[in-house]
Structures are given as C-alpha cells and as structure tokens.
A and B are shown apart, each in its own frame.
Chain A
C-alpha cells in the first residue's frame, strides 16, 4: 500500500512555509520553520508536549498569528488581510483534539452550516453533500441527533465529515485521537486512513505511531520549537539520526 500511496504525491506545492517564527510574548515557540508540503502528501508531526507542533499547524490556517517569515497555502499568501485568511480557512479543513462540534446544532446542521453560509450552497444540495460524507464516516443514522448524544469517536468522525463538507484541499489534524478511549481510536484512524488513500493532503499531529508507519510519506519530529528531524517513516523509526529523536522514540515505543 505504501508504494501505491507514494505515487499519488504530485510535484505541485500545497503549503510552503519559509523561515517562520512565532513568539508568545517573549517566549520563542516556533523557530525558523521551513517546510514544503506537496499536494497529496501525508505528513505526521510528532514530538514532546510543548514542542510547538500544534502551534505549527494552527499557524497554517491562521488560528495563531506568526510574527516572522511567510506561509503560502495553495498559492495564497497568509497575511493579516482578513479576506485572505477567510479564503485559506475555507480551503483548509481542521479537526481538533476536543472535536469542537457545535452542541446547539444537530449533526446534519453541523455539517451543512459552513457550506450554506460560506460557500452559499443551496440548503438541499448542502444536505445531500453532508449525508454523503456522513455515510463515508459511517454514521448517517445519527444525522438528526445532537453532538452531546454521541460517543467521542462518533463525534470526531462527525468533525471530520464537517470539515470534508467544505471540500477542502488540505486537512489538518490536531491530535484527533488524544481525547478518545482506545476502542474509539481505531474507528477514527480508519476514517483518516481512508481519507489518506484518496489522496488528501494531510498534516497530522499525533502520537499514533502505527498510523504514521502505515500512512505517512514523511514523519517530522519537533522539539523546542524547531524541526529536529524529518524522514520517511521506515527510516525515521528504524534508523533515527538525532539523539533527541532516539530518546523520544525509546520513550514512546519502549512499553
């Protein structure tokens, strides 16, 4: 499978980050980040907590502001211009650790809200699209329930469907399985794997190393706000170069 998915990576650039820096006050959270993501590439970002991996992907859709350097998403330069930000956000889907579904709306309304208001899709069409993606994440029968009535795994799959309804070209995952019970992790990972097989450009912050081995084209290891090492998964796991990576891997794979 790995070989087959390798082939889907094109030579078109999806995201280009150049020399990006970010500070929280005086605390330097991201330092000289350089990263180019090709269309169709699946990247897993890992690292100890506080290493800036979430902040990095949150900078890509401007949930966090960067102070130096440039981020270019799909040919649109990320600047403080609100129009550019809204354009990028509607092209980039995002899933959060705590799902962040809208609790006052039904599952179906969660999925149709953005297409109707941002893309101006007619309601009927938006609902058809939503049902299509809910079927894809295998919970069409929950469409009329509220998020509070679903399990964590189901909620995360709804969150994925909600993002997909905007037909994004890039998906960001911010620790999508960290708040889930072990039984539910698999159902979410299966959905993500299916998405990857269809050639979606994905950036995942996750500690699921099995997922990384199976799906990723590239694993990035971050520490102290810097990219320490990046490589293909086989090389990364079997033959890590940096001492920091070796220490990290021994800690998370050691038990």
Chain B
C-alpha cells in the first residue's frame, strides 16, 4: 500500500475481513439494563416510578391474598376467623370452595351427574386437538372431532343415546343423497330438478306469503298512537305489501333457477340434500330413535336446558358459537363478494343489520320476542335460541374480518388459479381461503375471544351462567351476602385462562403458517 492509494479513486480488495464478536461492554445484563431501564434521565425516573407503583400494588394486595380464608361456612364465619387471627384484611376464598359446584355447573344440574359435563370437557380437549394441531395429530383422529358434538350433547343433556345417533345417521344419509344426486345421469337429474324446483318454489312462495300476512298483522297491532308507531306501522305495511307482490315471482324465480341448473347440478344437489335432511329430521329421527330406545334402552338422566348453568353454560355457548360462526362467517364473506346480486344483497343486508344492533337486544329478542313469531305449540329450546343469536352476531363480524383478508389478496392469485383451469370452488378452497384466513387469524381470534366473554351477557336474560350465579344465588344468599371481590376475581380468572390460551394458540398458529424466510 502506498500513499498514492489514499488519494486515488481506484481500489481493489485483496484480503477478506473476517467476522468478529462485538466488544464485551456491548453485551450482557448490565448493557440490557442500561439500554432498557436507564437509557436517560427521563427514562430512569419513569423506571423508578414504575417500580414504586408495582411495589405499592403488590404490598397492598398481597396480605389480602395471604390471609385468605379457605375454610368457612359463611361470610360472617369467615370474618370471625379473620378477626380471631387479628388480620386487618383477608379474602374469603371459602365461598369458592363452598359454592364450587354452583360456579361450575349452576344450581339445578343434578349433583350425581356432574361427571358428565366434566367428562365432556375432558373429551373436548381430545376432540379439539386434531383440528387445532392438524400438522402433528394424524388425520384419522378428525373422525373423533366429527363425532364429538353428538357425544357431548348426549353427555350434557342426557336422555336416550339413540336420539343423537339418529341425528348423526340422518346427516350421514344426507351426505349419501348429496353424492347420489351428484352422480345422477343428466336426464334423470333434470326430472329431479323439475320436481325439486317446483316444491322449493311453491314452498318459498308459501313461506313468503305467510310472512307477508304476519307483517300485516304486526303492522295493525303496532297501533297509531304517535308519529313513531305510525311510522313503524307504515314500514311493516310497506314490507308486507312488497312481499305480497313478490311472493309468487320469487317462488317462480327460485324454482326456475333450480330447474335451469340441472346440467351443472350444484344447486339441485344442495337443495335436494337440504330437503332430505329436513325430511329425515322432521319425520324420521324422533320415531326411529324412540322405537329403538323402546327395544334397547340406553339412557342417561335427562337434564333440561333451563337447568344448565355456571361456567359450564359459558363453555357450551362459547365453544358451540365459535365453531358455528366461523363457517357461517366464511360463507357470508364469500357471499358478499359474489357476482350474483341476490346472494350479495342478502349477505350485505344480514351483515349490516346484525352489526348495527347490540348483542344484548338480540338476546332479549331470543328470550322474549322469538316466542311471538313462533306458532303457539312450538317449544323452542332457550339455549338453542341464544346459540342462534350469538352465532348470527359473531358470524357477521367474522365475515367482515374475512372480507378484509379476501380484499388483501393480490388479484394475481385469482388470475393464476383461473389460468390453471381451477373452477370457483377449487380456487376458493385451495388458493383463496387458506391465504385469506391466514391473514384474518388475528381478527378472527379477537372476535372469538370477545364472543366467549360476551356469553356472560346471558345473565341479563335470567340465565344462570357464572356471572348469573354470582349475581343471583351466591350474592343473594344469606350465607354469602355482599361478597364481591373473591367471586368476580375467580370469574375473571377462569375467563382469562381460556382467552389467554386462545390468544397464545393463535400466535403459535401464525408462526406455523409463515412461509417466507425461515
């Protein structure tokens, strides 16, 4: 190297510089503390303040926990024990021990049968594993996941085993009908399409006609006392007239659409399968299950829905509604993107309506109003009604999250799928949804967690979930009157455990699905 080098522009590297570790003062715990806790005067003050607040918090709460009484008959008993010990403060955790069964199962579920929901919960973990950890659990275990709803239903509600079995068989039979119609010769299928189209068209027209009559009836019973009720009455009348005008064209339109689709066959197949399912469930399931049960009775003590309660009720509602609202949300999101104006319109109206209404009003509708719309003799299970309402509510939100995921996909993905000759179903299932759902995971989980916590709202319509149990039978009993902290803390804790697990799972799943730069 000569001096000339320093001044000339030309330069050629002759030796590689070997990699070396960073200087020792730039690593280790001291450096971490200097960087993260005391990086400047202002940050050092903040750190000290934070430490002071954490100290005050712990110092204040710790004695309350530490002095906690776990063994007492009532709140007075508990306070006596605390006074005896000379403790200034102390928690009465005894309420959790004393009322553990109530908090978990409600106050009406038969005590001898507690093992059933407990077993159902344990089985839930096994049923969820193949779906949640699909990469690590063999696919054949998904069969158990598919059977789990029937097992859990039987365990929790009891009654004859043959009823859930008959429903399972009906669903499998529907699958067979679907396959059969799919494989039919085009000529036979067009005959079938004509029949199914006719029945569906007439059925729809009849339903719309009944609906129109119902709306007219409501509009008359609203009254005309004020401007508001007159307006409501007018709106109901307008909707009614609209339906009166359109019930026949709608029936013809839908019937013809089914008939016209005979060659492609998708619509005929789906509608025929739905008809078959309806016929099976409405006319075959009950008598068949009853008949078999008369010969070979396998029964658990039946527990009616109104006897469900405690955290079990929150779990039932949470698990069922989350697992139903995800597929429904996907269908709604795809429907909203559809080119077919009718399908798109239905989805948009549904989503926008549900999102514009508070969940609590929907629950009141489920509790009170639905009974007005049903024929007098129908006995529509309350839990089922609540499940329908919460599922509708959360599926509308999930649909919007998934729509965001669909919109985030580059147009090129659709084009590449098209250019390879994949049809709509294949492209959606194999290319679009896996990517859109992956993008939507944080949003979906957000809604699932929110939904699970919102199941406590059913306490407002006098169902005794964990919050309902606390507000009612526990706080208002003479033994545990005016106990707050311990029970609500416990309720928060059980919800936190589940919600935090869901959130951790979703983050793990996101890492699993990363496909760039390993």
User: Which A residues have a C-beta under 8 Å from some C-beta of B?
Assistant: 61-63, 82, 86-87, 89-90, 92-94, 96, 98, 100-104, 113-114, 117-118, 146-149, 162-163, 166
Cα distance, A75 to B419, chains bound together (Å): 18
Closest 6 CB pairs of A and B: A148-B516, A90-B421, A100-B416, A100-B412, A146-B515, A114-B420
Cβ B513 vs Cβ A117 within 8 A: no
Take A96-B412, A96-B416, A113-B430 as given contacts and tell me if A104 and B515 are in contact as well, using a CB distance cutoff of 8 Å. Answer: yes
Query: Which residues on the A side are within 8 Å of B40 (C-beta)?
Result: none
Cβ B420 vs Cβ A90 within 8 A: yes
Cβ B517 vs Cβ A149 within 8 A: yes
* One of A90, A104, A113 near B435 (C-beta < 8 A): A104
- A164: shortest Cβ distance to chain B, in Å? 11
Take A117-B426, A149-B518 as given contacts and tell me if A100 and B415 are in contact as well, using a CB distance cutoff of 8 Å. Answer: yes
Residue of B415, B418, B420, B513 contacting most chain A CB atoms (<10 Å)? B420
Is B478 an interface residue, CB under 8 A from the partner? no
* One of B413, B420, B434, B517 near A89 (C-beta < 8 A): B420
Cα distance, A113 to B417, chains bound together (Å): 10
Query: Which residues on the B side are within 8 Å of A87 (C-beta)?
Result: 421
Cα distance, A89 to B413, chains bound together (Å): 15
Query: Which residues on the B side are within 8 Å of A89 (C-beta)?
Result: 418-421
Interface residues of B, CB < 8 Å — how many? 23
- A109: shortest Cβ distance to chain B, in Å? 10
Take A117-B422, A118-B420 as given contacts and tell me if A103 and B435 are in contact as well, using a CB distance cutoff of 8 Å. Answer: yes
Cα distance, A96 to B426, chains bound together (Å): 21
Query: Which residues on the A side are within 8 Å of B417 (C-beta)?
Result: 102
Cα distance, A89 to B518, chains bound together (Å): 34
Query: Which residues on the A side are within 8 Å of B413 (C-beta)?
Result: 100, 102
Query: Which residues on the A side are within 8 Å of B416 (C-beta)?
Result: 96, 100-102
Cβ B517 vs Cβ A94 within 8 A: no
Cβ B515 vs Cβ A148 within 8 A: yes
Query: Which residues on the A side are within 8 Å of B422 (C-beta)?
Result: 113-114, 117-118
Is B431 an interface residue, CB under 8 A from the partner? yes
Query: Which residues on the A side are within 8 Å of B435 (C-beta)?
Result: 102-104
Is B423 an interface residue, CB under 8 A from the partner? yes
Across the interface, name the chain B residue whose C-beta is closest to A61. Answer: B419
Cα distance, A226 to B515, chains bound together (Å): 43
- B409: shortest Cβ distance to chain A, in Å? 10
Cβ B434 vs Cβ A104 within 8 A: yes
Is B355 an interface residue, CB under 8 A from the partner? no
Take A113-B430, A117-B426, A118-B426 as given contacts and tell me if A103 and B516 are in contact as well, using a CB distance cutoff of 8 Å. Answer: yes
Across the interface, name the chain B residue whose C-beta is closest to A103. Answer: B515
Is B79 an interface residue, CB under 8 A from the partner? no
Residue of A101, A113, A162 contacting most chain B CB atoms (<10 Å)? A113
Cα distance, A166 to B416, chains bound together (Å): 13
Cα distance, A170 to B2, chains bound together (Å): 63
Is B213 an interface residue, CB under 8 A from the partner? no
A–B pairs, 10, beta carbons within 8 Å? A61-B418, A61-B419, A62-B418, A63-B415, A63-B419, A89-B420, A100-B416, A102-B416, A113-B420, A166-B420
Given contacts A61-B418, A94-B419, A163-B419, 11 further A-B contacts (CB under 8 A): A82-B423, A90-B421, A98-B410, A103-B515, A113-B420, A113-B422, A114-B421, A117-B426, A146-B516, A149-B518, A162-B420
Across the interface, name the chain B residue whose C-beta is closest to A113. Answer: B430
Take A103-B435, A104-B435 as given contacts and tell me if A86 and B516 are in contact as well, using a CB distance cutoff of 8 Å. Answer: no
Is B438 an interface residue, CB under 8 A from the partner? yes
Take A104-B515, A148-B515 as given contacts and tell me if A117 and B430 are in contact as well, using a CB distance cutoff of 8 Å. Answer: yes
* One of A86, A98, A104 near B423 (C-beta < 8 A): A86
Query: Which residues on the B side are within 8 Å of A103 (C-beta)?
Result: 435, 515-516
Query: Which residues on the B side are within 8 Å of A118 (C-beta)?
Result: 420-422, 426
Residue of A113, A117, A146, A166 contacting most chain B CB atoms (<10 Å)? A117
* One of B412, B421, B513 near A104 (C-beta < 8 A): B513
Residue of B412, B417, B421, B423 contacting most chain A CB atoms (<10 Å)? B421
Cα distance, A137 to B248, chains bound together (Å): 60
- A184: shortest Cβ distance to chain B, in Å? 18
Across the interface, name the chain A residue whose C-beta is closest to B431. Answer: A102
Take A89-B418, A96-B412, A113-B420 as given contacts and tell me if A104 and B517 are in contact as well, using a CB distance cutoff of 8 Å. Answer: no
Query: Which residues on the B side are within 8 Å of A96 (C-beta)?
Result: 412, 415-416, 419
- A146: shortest Cβ distance to chain B, in Å? 4
Cα distance, A101 to B438, chains bound together (Å): 17
Cα distance, A98 to B416, chains bound together (Å): 10
Take A86-B421, A89-B421, A103-B435 as given contacts and tell me if A98 and B412 are in contact as well, using a CB distance cutoff of 8 Å. Answer: yes
Cα distance, A103 to B517, chains bound together (Å): 12
Cα distance, A101 to B410, chains bound together (Å): 11
- B427: shortest Cβ distance to chain A, in Å? 9
- Residues from 149 to 207 in B contacting A, C-beta threshold 8 Å: none
Query: Which residues on the B side are within 8 Å of A146 (C-beta)?
Result: 515-516
C-beta contact mask, B250-293 vs A, less than 8 Å → 1, else 0? Answer: 00000000000000000000000000000000000000000000
- B459: shortest Cβ distance to chain A, in Å? 42
Cα distance, A101 to B412, chains bound together (Å): 9
Residue of B413, B415, B518 contacting most chain A CB atoms (<10 Å)? B415
